[in-house]
Each structure stands twice: as C-alpha cells, then as structure tokens.
Amino acid sequence: MSESGSNSTNGQQQGMLKQKQNPLEFTHDKILEDVYRTHFHCLEKCDAASLYTVASNVLNQSMDITEKLIAKAELPTEGFKEDTTITSQQLAAKLKRIAYLMICTPRGEYPVHCTTMLILEQLKHYSWDAKVLIVEAAFALEYGKFLYLLPLIAPCQQFESSFADLHGLLMVPQNTKHLTHLNTVVKKVMQLVECITQWKKLVSAGHDIRDVPTLAETLQEIPVVVYWTIFTLVSCTGEINDFTDNKYEKHELSTHLEKKLDPILGEFKELLKKCINEIERIEDFTSRKNIVTRGRDIVKVLKALIICGDKRDLRQNVYYFGLTEEQVKLEEFKKKCVLLFISGLENVDDDIKLLNSVNEKLKEKAREVENYRSEDFKILWIPIVDEWNDEGRKKLENKLRDTKFGWYVVKYLNFETSLKLIKEVLEYEKKHVIKLMNPQGKVENFDAKQIISQWGIDGFPFRTSDQTRLSQQWKWFWSEITKFIKEIENLQNQIEEEDCYLLIYGGSDTKWVKEFTTAMDAVKKKVESNVDLNMTIESFQLGKEDSKDVPRFWIAIDSLLTSRKQVKGVVPQTNEIKRLLFLKQDPKGWAILSKGKNVRLLGHGEAMCRTVKEFDTWHDKLSVMSFDVAFTEHYRGIKEKDGSKRCEENVICYDHPTDIVERITCPKKDCRRPMEVTSVNFKCCHQHKQ
C-alpha cells in the first residue's frame, strides 16, 4: 500500500474514532451492562494476595522515587525489599501480554475504552478483584521502570545509570510537571484497587446480604468500579511511554479522568464504610446474643441487652425510681433475680399496678422458696418505643412522676442492637411481657406475667414450675365444685382472662345467704357500670339449684382428705383440703374468692358479707391494686377490728384409728400452733394460753 493510501486510511480511522462517544460520557447503566457481558463464572484462579503485595510494592517504591526526584530530595538509605513472589509462569506471560496491549493503545479515551473491554474479555473467567490485580501488576511492569531513576537522585553503579538511559528515563526530569499529575492519578487508582481488595474480603466472609444490605449494593457497583480502574491503568500506561519518548508534543493525561475518579472512589468508599458498619453491628449482635443466651452473669447479660457499644458509662439511662430517683449502675443487680418488664407506653397502667403490688409484697415480708429469697428480687422496666420523640419522652416522664414506683427503669432505649435482641431473644412482639431472669442471667420464665396476674405474690418465685405447682394446688377443688355448679364450666374461657374474679359461697343461715347475694349483685352492677374497672366478677351459690348439693360437696371433700391420709408420706394439697373443711363450720356461712382458678381467700361469713357491703369504702384502692388484693386487705382489717380470737374447729370421722392421734396445726395464718385431739373433734387449744 502506498504512503498516501496509508495516510488516507489512518485519517479515516481517526475520523471514525472522533465520531465515537467519549467513554467519560458513558452512563453508569451502560458501563454496567457492557462490562457484565464480559464476566463469566470464576473458573481461573490466581494468588490475589501475593499479586496485590508485589504490584503495590513496585508501584509504591517507584512512586517514592519519582516524588523524591520532583522534590529534589535524597532517597532513604533503606533498600527495596520484597519477600513475596509470584511463581506462576503462565500468569507472568499473561501480565506481559496485557502490558503489551496497554503500551500499544493509541492515545485518546475511546481507544483506551476498547483496550479496557478487550482486557476484560481476556480475563472473563477471573473474579472481579483478580481482574484488577492482574491489570495492576501489568501496569507495574511499566511504572516500575521509574525504579531506574535511582541514578538521578542517589549515587549508584555505572551499569544502573546505563540501564536507565536505555529506558529513556534520563528525559524524565524535564517533565516533572506532567509526572506530578501522573502520580496523583496513580495514587487514586491504587486507592480504588485497595477498595476492591477490601470489598473482596467482605464478600468472602460469608455474610448474608439480607443482614448486610449494602453488600448487595456493592455487587451492582463493582463492575463499574473495575471498569474505571482498568481504564485508568491503561491511560496511565500510555502516559509513561510519553516520558520515555523525546517528543516535542506530548499527550497530557486528561484532567477529566481524575475528576471522573473522585466521585467513583468517594461513593465506593462510602459503600464499604456502610458495609463495615453493618457487619460490625452483626458481629456485635452475635456477641451480645451469645452472652444473653448462655446466661452466666446477670450483670453481663443486662449490659449486653441495654448498654450501647460506644457508651462507656454503665449507668447510662438506668434509673431507680423510689424515694430517691437516683441514677444507678447495673452492678446493683449482681446476684439478683430480675423481673424484666418489657412494654410500650400504651395501656401500661394495669401492668404497673400489678408490679407495684408484687414489689410491695416482696418488701413487706421475707419469703424463701427453694433458696429463692424475696430480698434478692428486683424489677426492671424497659419501655420500648419506635422513636423517642418529644411526645414519647414527655409521656414517660409523666408516668414516672405520677406513679413513683419503687423499681428500676431504662430510659429512652434507642439502641438498634438492643431492640433487636429484645425482640429476637426475649421474644418481645409489642405485647407487654414479664421475664424472670435468675442471677446467672438465664430466663427461667418467659411468661412470668401469667403467674403474677393469676397468683400474685403467692406465685413467688414466679418460675414456670411454680405455675404448674399452683395450677395443681386447687385442681381438686375445681374438679369437685364444677360437678355441682355447672355454670363455672360454661364460663371457662372467661375465667381464664387476667381479671376475672369468682366468689363461691354458701351456708346454713338463709338470712346471711340472702344478704350476701344482694350485696354481691350490687357490687357487680357497680363494676359493670364503671368503665375504668377492666375486670369481670361472677358469683355462684352452692346449692342454689338443689339443696342436696351442699352435703354432697362436703362429703366429697371429706373423702378426698380421707384418701390422702391413706397415702404414706407428704401428700400435696392436704393442708388446703383441711382449710376448706374447717371453713364450713362457720354458723353464718362461708365464701371463697378466686382470681381465675387461683383461690385467693377462704373467708368466714360475717366478715365476707361486710367486705362486700362496704365496697364503696375500699373501691378507690382498685386504681392502685387488683380487686383480690383490695378485697383481702379489707376483709383482714375487719377480722382484726372484730377482735375475735376464736380459732378454727372441725369434726371429722375417720375409718382409720391412726388418724385420731395425728397432730394437726391450726389453719389460721397468725396461729399455726398444734391442735389437741379430743375424740374425733379437732379444735385449736391455744386460746386458753393467750
């Protein structure tokens, strides 16, 4: 082909290149689509870590030399050391081929784009990070020539100076301005390579993208970041050749490329930062979850639950609201059992009232059940709110000020990891819950609210086993009473509600029975008409439908006691049966108060009737305590004012002579002294000693 024809062809090619769109104007989506078409399954492997180390060391050392040359400073006396090597001859050959492609690329954005796409096609079976590291290493083959600039800034042997001359490096000092710009771009592209390497470590850690959503975003960005990294390395390779060629006109590296890199680098760094934060939250959550689930120390468990990771003040947000309203450390809970109350701020008054009642009872009288002591129990409230705005804060402050409860509260918990732990590990789903945690921090009862609501302080120490024990304690009674009062069975679902109270009564004095019935009807009407009293009261008279049911019931209870006497050892519920049998001896009548199927009070006729009649005098207490507690307090107050010292007495006929000489204690709670046996009559003898 003639020279004129060759020039014509080159002119046409350059014209076509000019008509091509500038890659710097490509949209994100176009680059993503084009690059992703070149990527296949990662079948080929390379030692990415070694490749990164070797290439980075070459680039850093070369850059250090060029910067010393520009600044006309002396090079440090320490020599270049490299402990990592690349042993694959196949990879070394690939690096040379790619370096040759980069060197032979015509200057201009579109030729650089074409070479970039060609390189991506050749590396289609490598992972994203490996593609970049291979190209970086190929670039290091060229940029590493600057190591031969050493003779210009430090004494060296003659052959080193000759080698630099052969590479045309002696011309570099005349182009330090362009060299400064090149180094700036190389530094930025090395930051991109470092980010890609860091990204690879994150995606290789095995995190679920559902837990690290930003990681999914990086999967959409990495092809574009890889493209611009390789594009920049190809551009910089051409710039190096200009330094080693004594041309009058040099093609300066585009400043637009540097401006293009800045947002790409900044945005990808931000994504990686978000990924790291999300992963740290996952690791923090996993660590805290292990502490909570293993449960070895209550203080450590509470710290894991409520103390924010960047808060070093362990008193943060934990307050004690009693008379002092002081801020406390979590060490207050050391070796304590904790009733952990978790709730929102809506409809919480009844639960606060319930816990206040339990808290007062725990302090009122020392209790011990199987090494669980009442003085070792503390109540901690964690209010959960979606967002602590001014309205929520004010509502909590008002509640704390108005209630003045004597237990602990965590104020304004807004730590995302804590909220996730509480919801996942402690099974909180916006329904108010009370958890019992032992001194080791293990949850012994995930639903302590049920036993506290049904049994109150009688449920102490509120374990799951206590719920089972108490539900069996009066099972015999309900089994017998429902045979004679069918309506109780029909109200089974209603009885299981938290605030359903039953009053079962009877007696031989018809006048008393009539008065009690009338008084109970009046109380039920008042409760039903009061919208603030969220409870149900039902009353049942034994023998109302059939008077023969009365003796049948008592005979059945008597038989229960007799059958238990025939069993050797301690038989559960024997004392409860005795207490009920003693109750029937009251000449007026008797009444049993039950919360659900938790028998709360076995009461004598006259005091029970007065308590019901005087409802108006004590119903105000229902705003701070439950119906059964207020009822029982008023009943006992009447008994104390009455001044009667008469204890219980009963007459029971036994078929077994050994029962006659058995020692039986007085069932009255403030007595409990042994009763003397007179024939088959049981009566308390201590009155003569008072």
- For the chain, what are the domain ranges? 28-76+84-281, 298-467, 474-644, 647-690
Residue 420 CA from chain centroid, whole number: 3
Residues 565-583, mean pLDDT to the nearest whole number: 76
Of the listed ranges 116-130, 316-330, 418-432, the least confidently predicted one is 316-330
Q: Are 99 and 141 in contact (CB under 8 A)?
A: yes
Model confidence pLDDT, tens digit, residues 115-172:
999 999 999 888 999 899 999 988 888 877 765 554 454 555 454 555 555 555 555 5
Most confident stretch, 177-186, 575-584, 649-658:
575-584
pLDDT of residue 598: 85
Average pLDDT over residues 603-629: 91
Bridge partners (DSSP) listed for residue 434: 341
Entry field: residues in the chain: 690
Q: Which of 63, 130, 138, 125 is nearest to 98 (CA)?
A: 138
| Strand segments (E) across 443-559 | 443-445, 500-506, 536-541
Per-residue pLDDT tens over the stretch 270-308:
999 999 999 998 999 999 999 999 989 999 999 999 887
Whether 365 shows a pLDDT value over 50: the answer reads yes
Predicted pLDDT at 614: 96
| pLDDT of the residue at 335 | 94
| Alpha-carbon span 289 to 307, nearest angstrom | 13
What does the angle CA 101 – CA 106 – CA 111 come to, to the nearest 5 degrees?
85
With the CA atoms of 160, 165, 168 and 173 taken in that order, what torsion angle do they form, in degrees rounded to the nearest 10?
80
Tell me the CATH number for domain 298-467: 3.40.30.10
What does residue 366 show for φ and ψ, rounded to 5 degrees? -70, 135
Per mean pLDDT, which range of 23-32, 380-389, 614-623 is the poorest?
23-32
- Would you list the DSSP string of 424-462? HTS--SSS-EEEEE-TTS-EEETTHHHHHHHHGGGGTT-
The residue written with tokens 């006659």 in the block is: 660
C-alpha 190/C-alpha 187 separation (Å) is: 5
Supply the DSSP string of 399-428, one letter for each residue.
Answer: HHHHH--SEEEE-S---HHHHHHHHHTS--
Q: Tell me, letter by letter, the H, E, C secondary structure of 316-383.
A: CCEEEECCCCCECCHHHHCCCEEEEEEECCCCCHHHHHHHHHHHHHHHHCCCEECCEEHHHEEEEEEE
Share the mean pLDDT of the chain.
80
CB 465 within 8 A of CB 472: no
When mean pLDDT is compared across 141-145, 183-187, 605-609, the lowest value belongs to 141-145
Q: What angle do CA 104, 109, 115 make, to 5 degrees?
A: 40
**Strand order across the 433-437 sheet:** 318-321, 407-410, 377-383, 337-343, 433-437, 443-445
Distance (Å, whole) CA 410 – CA 408 = 7
Closest Cα to residue 37, out of 228, 264, 227? 227
Distance CA 250, CA 239 (A): 9
Residue carrying structure tokens 């990527």: 39
The residues near 190 (Cβ < 8 Å, ≥ 6 apart) are 56, 59, 136
The DSSP secondary-structure symbol of 685 reads -
**Per-residue pLDDT, 89:** 63
In the prediction, which pLDDT does 535 show? Answer: 87
Does the structure show a pLDDT above 90 at 23?
Answer: no
Peptide bond into 461 cis (omega under 30): yes
Nearest CA among 293, 290, 342 for reference residue 443: 293
pLDDT beyond 60 at 247 = no
In this predicted structure, the answer to whether residue 361 has a pLDDT above a threshold of 80 is yes
Q: Where are the alpha helices (DSSP H) in 213-348?
A: 213-243, 255-294, 298-306
Which is more confident, 350 or 656? 350
Pairing, β 590-595 against β 368-369? unpaired
Q: What torsion, rounded to 10 degrees, do the Cα atoms 684, 686, 687, 690 define?
A: -170
Sequence-distant (6+) residues with CB within 8 A of 348 are 399, 432
Cα distances from 140 to residues 108, 197, 236, 469, 623, in angstroms, run 21, 17, 11, 78, 81
CA distances from 331 to 116, 335, 343 (A): 62, 9, 23
The position carrying tokens 């709360």 is 600
Judge whether 121 and 230 are in contact, CB under 8 Å.
no
Q: DSSP label at 22? A: P
